[in-house]
Amino acid sequence: MALILGIETATEVCSVALGKDGTCIAEQTNREGNTHASQLHKMVENILKETGYTFNNLNAIAVSKGPGSYTGLRVGVSAAKGFGYALNIPVIGISTLKSLCAQVLGRTETKGELLVPMIDARRMEVFTAIFSQKLEEIESTNAKIIEENMYVDLLETQKILFFGNGSEKCKKILEHKNATFIDNLTCNATSLLGLAEEMYQNNEFENLAYFEPFYLKDFVGTTPKNKK
């Protein structure tokens, strides 16, 4: 049984949640985008104040480790490691895609469908994977180019749920009787907590000296037009 602080910054959403024994007792979410660095620590302080807990009450930090936004992941993982070092408590890194699946299973009635979370990777590309109803990874995390024949063979024999901020780009291409899309489902820190509690009980912790976000793709910077 643990008091765990969850941090989610892998996408445009900045979210923190406090969980006790795997159940969320408070959450704060900011959907403005590009404010993670300036808002995250304020949100953590606010949620502790709201619940009457202090940093010293925390047993662990859970953080969405990717894939996702390079900058967002760097902010979240850096904060989690900072709290872990300062408080001498473990950090639990959780797949962003797996936490999206946990959110779907917690709020949507499913009937044996495969779960395909998708995170926008810009242009016509998504970060994705395929999970079973038991959150077993059937296809490992990868970056896919959205194209006409993706998932065609699988959809002939299997119902699939698509969701996440990258799935909107696939709707027209994946029109099929076995394809179902869940709209407006975004990452949040609450969906980390149940997974984090289980991992805490199993002592599945990150090595803080070596823990880095799972970027999946190398960061490629661009030069602003006015600088060319």
Instruction: Note the pLDDT of residue 158.
Output: 95
* CATH number 3.40.50.300 given to 3-95+187-227: no
Domain locations in the chain?
3-95+187-227, 97-182
- pTM of the predicted model as reported, rounded to 2 decimal places: 0.92
Q: 115 with 104: CB under 8 angstroms?
A: yes
pLDDT tens per residue across span 9-55: 999 999 999 999 999 999 999 988 778 999 999 999 999 999 999 99
pLDDT tens per residue across span 110-141: 888 999 999 999 888 999 999 999 999 999 99
pLDDT tens per residue across span 168-221: 988 888 999 999 999 999 999 999 999 999 999 999 999 999 999 999 875 444
Instruction: Note the pLDDT of residue 217.
Output: 72
Q: How sure is the predictor about 148, in pLDDT bands with cuts at 50, 70 and 90?
A: confident
Cα dist from 89 to 25, 28, 60, whole Å: 20, 22, 5
Cα dist from 155 to 89, 118, 129, whole Å: 44, 16, 15
CA 131 to chain centre: 14
Instruction: Note the pLDDT of residue 111.
Output: 82
Q: How far apart are CA 66 and CA 212, in angstroms?
A: 10
Equal CATH topology for 3-95+187-227 and 97-182: yes
> Mean of the pLDDT values across residues 146-165?
93
pLDDT tens per residue across span 89-113: 999 999 999 999 999 998 878 888 9
Q: How far apart are CA 118 and CA 146, in angstroms?
A: 11
- Topology given in CATH for the domain delimited by 97-182: Nucleotidyltransferase; domain 5 (3.30.420)
